[in-house]
Structure 1
């Protein structure tokens, strides 16, 4: 369920006073523990999202 929610959600920039919506990740790293995505905003900040895999819960 959380994976489905993550796929439907649009990440936003975490920089102070920004909150722009972020597009496709610039970097994706996947392990047995889950998926990490690095998103670069036009403001220059990088936001990392983490989703645990179903098997690691």
Structure 2
């Protein structure tokens, strides 16, 4: 989690080797909204079926 230059909150999901595997793609005006978004992403287990 970090605050960008526009004072919006963003997140990055990193692999244990430090590689970024996902990011918020958008800024959130409130930190708690960004926290909720990353929790939703982390809730999906590896190997979950991909939907299109």
- Structure showing the higher helix proportion among its residues: 2
Fold similarity call, TM over 0.5: no
Q: Scaled by the length of structure 2, what TM-score is found? A: 0.27
